[in-house]
Amino acid sequence: MDRGRIQVAQPDVGRVGGLSEARVVCDMARERGLTIVPHCWKTGVSISATAHLAFATPHCAFIEYLPPQLCEETLRKELVVEELQLVDGAIVRPTRPGLGVELNWDALNAYKVA
C-alpha cells in the first residue's frame, strides 16, 4: 500500500487468506486513509463472505457486485440455493446462521474432485 501508492484497496476474501486476513488488509487501508472496495463476484459463497466483510468494516461502503442475472459462471448460478438479496442497490444483511447462505449439496457433489 505504501510503495504502490494505491488509492483503493481491493482485498479478495478468497485470495488473501479468508475473512481474518481480509480484515487485516482493511485495517491497513484504514490506517492509511484508503478506500476499501473488496474484489468479488465468483460464487454466492464468496459474495456472502465479502458482504460480511463490508458489514463489519465501517470504511467499506461498496463491494464489487455483479447481479446474478448478468453472470454466466456455473458455480455462481448453482453453488448456493439462494444468494443474498440486492434491494435498492444494497445487499440485505442475512438472518441465517454462518455466512447466511445455504449450500446446494447436489451442485457441491457434482463439482467435487477426489
What's the number of domains the chain is made of?
1
Amino acid letter, residue 34: L
Tens-digit pLDDT string for the chain (114 aa)? 999 989 999 999 999 999 999 999 999 999 999 999 999 878 999 999 999 999 999 999 889 888 888 888 888 889 999 989 889 988 999 999 999 999 999 999 998 887
**What pLDDT was estimated at residue 61?**
84
For the entire predicted model, the pTM comes to 0.89
In a domain, 3, yes or no: no
Domain harbouring 17, CATH code: 3.20.20.120
**What pLDDT was estimated at residue 70?**
87
Q: For residue 19, with 0-12 CB atoms within 10 Å meaning exposed, 13-18 middle and 19 or more buried, which class applies?
A: middle
For residue 96, what are the domain limits?
8-110
CB neighbours (10 Å) of residue 3? 5
**What pLDDT was estimated at residue 99?**
93
**What pLDDT was estimated at residue 105?**
96
In a domain, 1, yes or no: no
